[in-house]
Amino acid sequence: MTIEQFKALSAEAKLKELRFSGELLGSYERNSEHNGPKTPGDIFALYDFWVYLSDDEEMIIPTRRNPLTVTEE
């Protein structure tokens, strides 16, 4: 599945796809627009893109860029 195909799915289908094919990478607080409070949620790896899912499951945002920072040791 491509990111474009994922975007075309209904909210219920997106949640189902995350549940069965997504890999939970961890918690993430997404910056809101206009410097508002951050929105808590989780980041999932899904095929060749990532998806942010808010804790209330209202926001399902796919991205081509991994928003989690990579730390090198």
Q: Is residue 69 part of a domain?
A: no
Q: What is the pLDDT of residues 3-55, one digit of tens each?
A: 999 999 999 999 999 999 999 999 998 887 778 888 899 999 999 999 999 99
Q: Is residue 70 part of a domain?
A: no
36 phi/psi in degrees, rounded to 5: -80, -175
Domain count, the chain: 1
> What domain range is 35 assigned to?
3-63
Q: Is residue 73 part of a domain?
A: no
Q: Is residue 7 part of a domain?
A: yes
Give pTM, 2 decimals. Answer: 0.85
Instruction: Identify residue 72 by its one-letter amino acid code.
Output: E
Q: Is residue 52 part of a domain?
A: yes
Tally of CB atoms within 10 A around 50: 22
Q: Is residue 25 part of a domain?
A: yes
Q: Is residue 71 part of a domain?
A: no
Q: Let me know: does 62 contact 72? Beta carbons within 8 Å.
A: no
How far apart CA 65 and CA 45 sit, in angstroms, is 10
